[in-house]
Amino acid sequence: MNRGQLHRPPRYRALGAFSLLEVLIASTILALVVVLLLGMVDGASSLWRNAERRRDASREVRAGLRMMTEDLHSAVLTTAPDTLLIEDSELHVGDGNSLFFLVSHPPDHRHDGIKGDLCATGYFIASAPEGNGIRNLYRFHASGDDVADAYAEKSLPSLYATASPGNKNTELLARNITDLRVHPISISEGRAHPDALQLTLSAVNGDTARLIGLKPEANERNKRLLQQHQLVLSTLVSLPPQRDMPRDHQKNEP
């Protein structure tokens, strides 16, 4: 055995080890790095979740606006004011406006079994029939003799009033819609109806809609949720020229 190794001072034998202070400093730095990484991961996950929720709301709003635009491009507007009817939410329990009008779809867009080309359609917001507090956008659709008779008898509002969630003439179009606004834009003079409509739909994601539905009376909380999560999109739709009703739909008119 080497005698020099036996009598080496302790400070030379401890050169390859860490002191307690160095271990504590290294552990603290490592903990800080881990916390920063976890925060970055959590932030990225939160951004991803919010983007997914916003995408869900955007998909519902765009689907609603697209269908409304297609129907309005085929609208039948006559001198009768009820061929385009914009109302507040008194007729149907919901927020914003309701919109009802006559429409004549091209042959390739008509359903089998429909008599004639004249239809009535409409859009409104109402609570889901399930009673879970969720509000949706619904589309009303009627065709055939019912529409022709209602026009001839000047009772189109009564026909529109049959629209209701759960009825066979009403379908769910978009979920979690919080508001529908229809703003008429008139340019031409001597026209019974506006030249265009500005349509605005507002929506939230499913999680936010459920929170609002659980406590609809919590006005301040719900207002804050809408400010944080509500998505609002608008589109401008030009309306067809005003025209006379085709002769085969005027047979019952006085």
- pLDDT, one tens digit per residue, over 3-53 is 555 555 555 555 556 677 777 887 888 888 887 777 776 665 555 565 566
CB 89 within 8 A of CB 98: yes
pLDDT confidence of residue 92: 44
- Residue 7 inside a domain? The answer is no
Number of domains within the chain: 1
CA–CA distance, 7 with 204 (Å, rounded to integer)? 79
Beta strand 231-238 pairing with 196-203: antiparallel
Residue labelled with tokens 């529409």? 147
pLDDT confidence of residue 221: 85
CA–CA distance, 92 with 84 (Å, rounded to integer)? 17
Is residue 27 classed as helix, strand or coil in its secondary structure? helix
- Residue 191 inside a domain? The answer is yes
Task: Read off the pLDDT of residues 210-220 as tens digits, 9 standing for 90 and up.
Answer: 888 878 778 88
CA–CA distance, 52 with 206 (Å, rounded to integer)? 11
Q: Which of 40, 30, 113, 123 is nearest to 84 (CA)?
A: 123
Distance of CA 223 to the CA centre of its chain: 17
- Residue 4 inside a domain? The answer is no
DSSP letter (8 states) at residue 59: H
50 membership: H or E segment, kind and range? helix 20-73
In 165-239, DSSP assigns E strands to: 170-174, 177-185, 196-203, 231-238
- Residue 112 inside a domain? The answer is yes
- Residue 19 inside a domain? The answer is no
Q: Extract the residue ranges of the chain whose pLDDT is less than 50.
A: 1, 90-94, 248-254
Which structural domain, as residue segments, surrounds residue 204?
57-249
- Residue 25 inside a domain? The answer is no
- Residue 46 inside a domain? The answer is no
pLDDT confidence of residue 28: 84
* Predicted TM-score of the model (pTM): 0.74
**Residue 63, number of CB atoms within 10 A of its CB:** 15
- Residue 244 inside a domain? The answer is yes
DSSP letter (8 states) at residue 164: -
CA–CA distance, 130 with 107 (Å, rounded to integer)? 36
**Residue 190, number of CB atoms within 10 A of its CB:** 5
pLDDT confidence of residue 254: 41
